[in-house]
Amino acid sequence: MAEISSSPRAAAANLVDGHGRRIDYLRLSVTDRCDLRCRYCMAEDMVFLPKSQVLSIEEMAELAERFVARGIRRIRLTGGEPLVRRGIDTLAMRLGALIGHGIDELTLTTNAMRLAEHAPMLAAAGVRRINVSLDTLDPAAFRHITRVGDLGVALRGIAAARDTGLQVKINMVALAGLNEDQLLPMLAYCAANGCDLTLIETMPLGEVTDDRSDHYIPLHHFIAPLRAERPIYPVDQKTGGPARYFAVEDSPVTLGLITPLSDNFCSTCNRIRLTVEGRIYMCLGQDDHVDLRAALREGGAAAADSLIDAALAGKPRAHDFHIERKSGPAVARHMSATGG
């Protein structure tokens, strides 16, 4: 679909979309590359962006600072896998300097393959909590789901992050036939290691080898073994994202549920995603976008303001995700191209 254009005009002070939703959370993808090939996320043989189409670390920082000037209060660094990006330390330090001077929080989502190496840098930059994608504690299943991953490396990365004082939340994608038996072991692991746990339904983004309908399971089915063992209770907790949170009886773990298919949460969307090539997609499940890269390179960060406003005006009320057998993805691009 063609990019949305906008004539130059004065930029609004705050970020409010066409449905009156205040946007205060930026998810900044620093790379489309990853050192894993998770079956629900990527094809086995991926084609990544050439360097000329990728924003530099300096350009990412400039755009992020422009978003902060427009009212963004939280920034999450995503990918792909953000810790494979050269210069991630420079970016984290620069954005971390904005904590208390524009933003409330800088966070990161990672697969933990390189977390042991980078945890001290993240803590020094001002990051206080991170999300780690971890779908199973079974080494063979981990290797199968990720195609190339070593569970031991991920667990050592999590331990190193906790040793540096980072709060860790585990993100676990619910996958029928692959990790349905892992919820209770994962809850026990989180309780023993001071982590919270968020469960996520798989989403139809990008062509992958497997048919996602074979592995889609609504979260109310996925958590049935937990409910059979002990009650869970809703709690009033917000972290800026789409999760609904629950307390688990006799457990210190806070359980989050992200349900893009079984229980749409778009009415409270407060997020905007900036891709590594400088695009804003108005919705994770739509192709409409604006391209800030050319505006930035020709006129600086301020020149991007009218395009940011165009993106907000075109943000849809909701995505239109469906997972049906042989139906194909909702959009052709993979999650790694948009940012998690």
Binding residues for [4Fe-4S] cluster: 34, 38, 41, 266, 269, 283
In terms of phi and psi (left: phi > 0; alpha: psi -120 to 50; beta: otherwise), the region of 237 is beta
Q: Examine residue 149 and say whether the peptide bond preceding it is cis (omega within 30 degrees of 0).
A: no
Secondary-structure breakdown of the chain: helix, strand, coil percentages, each rounded to the nearest 5:
35, 20, 45
Instruction: Please report, in range form, the residues annotated as the binding site for S-adenosyl-L-methionine.
Output: 40, 80, 133, 203
Phi, psi of 23, rounded to the nearest 5 degrees: -100, 115
> 67 with 25: CB under 8 angstroms?
no
Of 291, 283, 147, 312, the closest CA to residue 205 belongs to 283
CA 175 to chain CA centroid, nearest Å: 18
Q: Which residues are annotated as a binding site?
A: 27, 34, 38, 40-41, 76, 80, 109, 133, 169, 203, 266, 269, 271-273, 283
Residue 17 token pair: 């979309």
Binding-site residues for GTP: 27, 76, 109, 169, 271-273
